[in-house]
Amino acid sequence: MTGIVDFAVHQWRMTLALLAFFVIGGFLAMFTIPLDAEPDVDIPFVTVQVILPGVSPEDSERLLVKPLETELKSLDGIKQMDGTAVTSMGIIVLEFDANFDQDSAVTDVLESVNRARGELPQEAKEPLVKELNTQTLPIIVVNIFGDAPDRKIQELAKQLRDRLEANSHILEAIIQGEREDLLEAVIDPALMESTGITFNELAGAISRNNALVTAGSLETQTGKFAVKLPGLIERPSDLADIVIRTDADGSIIQLKDIADVRRGYKDRTSNALFQGRPSVSLEVSKRAGENIMETIQIVRDITAEVTADWPKTVQIELSQDQTVTILDMIRSLVSSIVNAVVLVFIVCVAALGLRSALMVGFAIPASFLMTVFMFSVQGTSINMMVMFGMILSVGILVDSAIVIIEYADRKLAEGLHRKEAYTLAGKRMFWPIVSSTATTLAAFLPLLFWNTLPGQFMSYFPKTLIYILSASLLMALVFLPTIGALLGPKKLVDPSASLKALSGKDGNPLAIEGFTGAYARLIDTLARWPSLVLIAILSLSAGIFIWFSNTPHRVEFFTADGGDEIYVYGRSRGNTATINEYEIAKKIEARLRGIDGIKSMFTISGNGAASGGGFNGPNGIPLDTVSRTFLELNPFVERRSTAEIESDVRAATANMPGLIVEVEVLANGPPTGKDITIELTSDNLQSLNASARRLSQYFETNPSLQEAENTMPLPGIEWRLEIDREEAGRLGLDVATIGAAVQFVTEGSLVGFYRPLDTDEEVDIRIRYPKTSRDLSDLDNLRIQTSEGALPLSAVVTRTAHTRQDAISRRNQLLVYEVRANVREGLAVNQVVNSVKTWITDEANFPANVNHRFLGQDEENKEAAQFFAKAGIATLFMMAVILLWQFNSFWHVILTLSAVVFSMAGVLLGLQFYPYISTLLCGTGVLALAGIVVNNNIVLIDTYQRLKLEGYESHEAAVRTAAQRMRPVFLTTITTIIGLMPMVLAVQADLFSGIFSTKGTSTSAIWAPVSYVLVCGLGFSTILTLILTPVMLAAPAVWMGHVRKIFAFINPKKLLALKN
């Protein structure tokens, strides 16, 4: 295999051509490869939705949800099944295992739903099955608002939507805040009663005159003609002219005689505000594989073109632009690469000289360009996690290059020609570099098999590092020896005495002056007392482990710092009206207006406030939310920290009478919901209610918790109408007739549909009383035509108040409630979770038929910890196999892997001074660290084995190994730490613009924990490795000498035999 180096150097033209191909290809790919904000992962959720107009939550559970659950429960790969029964609808949400096949899962769900269709009511609409996809997430939002009628603004929004969706880059543009069209006939109650017209007459007349009739064709002697009979309602006048009744004398009663027919909108159930003004928004998403930057620019161009001739009173504003985040990450990446090249170059110039430093510095951008080229060939986009991997790899990808250059440097000092020196460096260090790269890759491989949603989210990180390390391997073993053989220094001018002493066989490391000589003499002394050295280092490491285990720590799943999105929820309980909810939203916006750092505010009030969220939004919005305000912040470099803005938001919205205001800063990374979420499930509603109330009361009175809420039915009342069926039958009434009459004072009775010429959507036709006759008292006094004349509704119906029931939630075929809360600022989530667990065990006394389970951050932390434990074992096993193949010695393998233990001690020591521990990021850092720290030991032990083969005895070989490999070990460690320090310290330094800031970037909170773990572990383990490894290499000979002395004391003759 080492012949590859000879071949590459000999065929240098082909080698350089390949290097140019990869580098130029990567450079060109930088301008064409697609960019994404979030990783494109398959979200393992499939939803099933069935609509049955007018059905109550109780009947929806019985008629819609349970039949679907029965069929869907047997599907393979289901992790969790949630069912929700609400008015007029039943919803099933299926969560599959993260490694599911989305197309296959959707097909299986469709087949099960088709089987369940026969068990559903005939009146139910066709079930709708949808899968979630990150490609449908909006990349930019177009907000339309101003002083114009609602219909005009919606017409303009549809015009812009059609133009956007006509572009091949854009997947869809969904209109939010659009009001639903309605054709209504507002009946005069007095006229309807005086004429004696019944609901059945109205519905029948409209149905008969709103039908599509195929009249056929007429064939005569003169030809064949199509006969058309237009029968569908196309405009409001068609409905108004319908004849409801014809009397015996030929007089007619048309609908317009007793009703005002008009086209309008359904009653508002929610309101949308942008910057305090009613608005409509377009959420634009791109097609898979399209460049997000290019697509957003297309949206900007089309919007500018379409809106050029719009009325001046209509305003347009773009928000939630993903290019801001992406550009910030690109700037961070470029800045990190440039800074790393400069810093590494400075270190290498000091240690190796200018020409050698240039070759090491070239390895960084070249490896990155090769990686971009490989991503481009594979068809993968560049997203946040890819950039994350690139930034973190800055410090580690030059290790192999430094080892090659340093070895060639020593050979040049021995007088070898540059071609021979660099070729020998590539061949001599070939297997150590391959082994060290393989062990590093082994640390990242388990991350590719993390089959959870966070694991899928993080999977691009190890893929990126695998590509980069592979590229750096090619650079070190193929391209650098070739470049060095052609352009490296021909010989070292006046090499230092220490370098001469280390290079030749006759050199004496103990005679070297300076730091290297002092280090060699230290190892020479310590190597004579290996047991004491081992005990001291193990005691130090054990002390760190004990100190860490006895210290409480704050544990977070991803990061403790919030992201760039803030949500403000206005929570109000009881039967609030839509207009009241709208006023609440306006009051909250008024308090938030003027806070420094907020770019725009988008508010939804009413029914839509408690919905939404999902993969890229707030997770677990409180059910009693009547107003939800999204605060878009200014770009990171132009504003204060998110924590400062959050503090001002909380202060501004405090003490609002009759209102609970909750502030949520959406964290970076996978959604986890509130800090503490407990699931309660049971098949007994009474036991479940009692347990949920007790747990909710504990949460509300716990001083460590805030913003407690639950998913129990909201307080309030609903009116239930009990029909006297016997009396109704005697009067010639039935449930359908009574129900239709009741709808006259609610949202109106649905009597048909029509499709106007100016829309592609079907519009409801409803009949109801005017607003002045739609009140609770009017419901009691509602007059119904019977066989005995018009009678009040109270004659056959009794109205009673019941506890409000908006929704019924089920999980895995059991009733379910969730109780949630956030931990107060400054407290550790994991510690509060432990106290809650203690309370549940000792004091909660939940009934035996009620099960509880911790969700959210606690659940994610447990799953992540279990995965990292398994991944760590797998990593150590793979590394051990690779090292056995390299060294063929169990002792040397154990010695190499000891660096992992010492690096863990360094990590724990560093985390003692870090504000929190991120399970996901620190766990990823520890795995990466395990693959990096063993590289130093590989180089040391490989050199030791070579010296032993050359005839050196163990002690001298260990001392020479320490002295010869100290410089490359220090260089690789220092360059790695220097490359990572800007991320640890959240320093942003742009050498081109001269900008220097300690504020960091919007993604610094993600880089910092991983970088900190790597720096602490690598720095600590390197110091111990440079001491312990040489000492332990010489230890077997020392220990064997002690054994011989013991044998000599016991039996001198046997000792002589052993020597012979």
In a domain, 315, yes or no: no
Same domain, 1030 and 910: yes
In this model, does residue 925 exceed pLDDT 80?
yes
In a domain, 124, yes or no: yes
Same domain, 5 and 67: no
Q: Of 279, 236, 242, which is closest to residue 147 (Cα–Cα)?
A: 279
pLDDT tens column, 241-262: 999 988 878 888 998 999 999 9
pLDDT of residue 652: 92
In a domain, 821, yes or no: no
pLDDT of residue 583: 86
pLDDT band per the 50, 70, 90 thresholds, residue 632: confident
pLDDT tens column, 634-691: 888 788 888 889 889 999 998 888 788 888 887 666 656 778 899 999 999 999 999 9
Average pLDDT over residues 540-565: 84
Same domain, 550 and 484: no
How far apart, in whole angstroms, are the C-alpha atoms of residue 67 and residue 222? 60
Of the given ranges (82-96, 704-718, 1013-1027), which has the lowest mean pLDDT? 704-718
Q: Of 113, 81, 74, 110, which is closest to residue 96 (Cα–Cα)?
A: 81
Looking up tokens 């048909």 gives 752
How far apart, in whole angstroms, are the C-alpha atoms of residue 397 and residue 980? 12
> CA 805 → CA 48, 59, 718, distances in Å?
22, 12, 8
In a domain, 603, yes or no: no
In this model, does residue 615 exceed pLDDT 50?
no
The answer to whether residues 109 and 127 touch, using CB atoms and an 8 Å cutoff, is no
Joined together, the tokens standing for residue 569 give 């929820």
Average pLDDT over residues 442-468: 83
The answer to whether residues 817 and 688 touch, using CB atoms and an 8 Å cutoff, is yes
Q: For a pLDDT cut of 70, what percent of the chain falls above it?
A: 92
Q: How many CA atoms lie within 13 A of 608 on its CB side?
A: 17
Per the prediction, the chain carries an average pLDDT of 84
Same domain, 1 and 108: no
In a domain, 106, yes or no: yes
pLDDT of residue 909: 93
Number of domains composing the chain? 4
Asked which of 757, 782, 803 is the last residue of a domain, the reply is 803
pLDDT tens column, 110-139: 999 999 988 899 888 889 998 877 667 788
Same domain, 485 and 530: no
Joined together, the tokens standing for residue 715 give 């307080």
In a domain, 203, yes or no: yes
pLDDT of residue 614: 46
pLDDT of residue 739: 84
In a domain, 431, yes or no: yes
| CATH classification at residue 993 | 1.20.1640.10
In this model, does residue 343 exceed pLDDT 80?
no
pLDDT of residue 618: 62
Looking up tokens 């000092």 gives 413
Looking up tokens 């999902």 gives 614
Tell me, rounded to whole angstroms, the distance of Cα 146 from its chain centroid.
35
Average pLDDT over residues 66-94: 90
Residue 842 Rama label (left phi>0; alpha psi -120 to 50; beta) = alpha
Q: What angle do CA 664, 665, 669 make, to 5 degrees?
A: 125
pLDDT of residue 112: 92
Asked which of 776, 803, 830 is the last residue of a domain, the reply is 803
Going by the DSSP 8-state scheme, the letter that residue 35 receives in this structure is B
Joined together, the tokens standing for residue 37 give 């904000």
Q: Of 746, 786, 794, which is closest to residue 767 (Cα–Cα)?
A: 746
> CA 599 → CA 408, 558, 564, distances in Å?
56, 26, 11
> CA 863 → CA 94, 208, 786, 870, distances in Å?
20, 61, 65, 11
Highest mean pLDDT among 59-68, 148-157, 581-590, 617-626: 59-68
Average pLDDT over residues 818-825: 88
Residue 254 backbone phi and psi in degrees, to 5: -95, 160
Higher per-residue pLDDT: 625 or 669? 625
Same domain, 912 and 1025: yes
Report helix, strand or coil for 889: coil
Higher per-residue pLDDT: 944 or 490? 944
Of the given ranges (53-57, 236-240, 249-253, 1047-1051), which has the lowest mean pLDDT? 1047-1051
CB burial of 557-569 (b: ≥16 within 10 Å; e: otherwise) equals bbbbbbbbbbbbb
In this model, does residue 215 exceed pLDDT 70?
no
Joined together, the tokens standing for residue 592 give 């938030």
| CATH classification at residue 72 | 3.30.70.1430
First to last CA, the chain: 40
Segment (H or E) for 345: helix 322-352
Report helix, strand or coil for 951: coil
CB burial of 517-528 (b: ≥16 within 10 Å; e: otherwise) equals bebbbbbbebbe
pLDDT of residue 384: 75
Longest dimension (CA), the chain: 142
How far apart, in whole angstroms, are the C-alpha atoms of residue 425 and residue 307? 65
| CATH classification at residue 219 | 3.30.2090.10
Same domain, 237 and 353: no
The answer to whether residues 676 and 829 touch, using CB atoms and an 8 Å cutoff, is yes
pLDDT tens column, 295-322: 999 999 999 999 999 998 899 999 888 8
Average pLDDT over residues 959-965: 87
Same domain, 105 and 196: no
In this model, does residue 578 exceed pLDDT 90?
no
Same domain, 919 and 974: yes
Going by the DSSP 8-state scheme, the letter that residue 1001 receives in this structure is -
How far apart, in whole angstroms, are the C-alpha atoms of residue 864 and residue 927? 13
Neighbours of 428 (CB within 10 A): 19
Tell how strand 763-768 and strand 181-187 pair up.
Answer: parallel
Same domain, 795 and 895: no
Average pLDDT over residues 824-836: 85
Asked which of 754, 769, 803 is the last residue of a domain, the reply is 803
Write the DSSP assignment of 560-615 as a string of letters.
Answer: SSEEEEEEEEEE--S---HHHHHHHHHHHHHHHTT-TTEEEEEEEEEGGGGS--ST
Residue 770 backbone phi and psi in degrees, to 5: -65, 165
Average pLDDT over residues 468-483: 91
pLDDT band per the 50, 70, 90 thresholds, residue 890: very high
In this model, does residue 724 exceed pLDDT 80?
yes
In this model, does residue 38 exceed pLDDT 90?
no
Percent of the chain as helix, strand, coil, to the nearest 5: 55, 20, 25
The alpha carbon dihedral of 931, 937, 943, 944 has a sign of negative
Residue span of the structural domain in which 1040 resides: 506-556+889-1060
Same domain, 426 and 532: no
In a domain, 1011, yes or no: yes
pLDDT tens column, 994-1005: 666 777 677 777
How far apart, in whole angstroms, are the C-alpha atoms of residue 708 and residue 817? 14
Same domain, 988 and 900: yes
pLDDT tens column, 382-436: 877 787 788 777 767 778 888 888 888 878 877 788 888 899 988 988 888 898 8
Q: Of 399, 428, 414, 419, which is closest to residue 482 (Cα–Cα)?
A: 419
Residues 6+ away with beta carbon under 8 Å from 409: 352, 353, 356, 492, 499
Highest mean pLDDT among 40-54, 485-499, 990-1004: 40-54
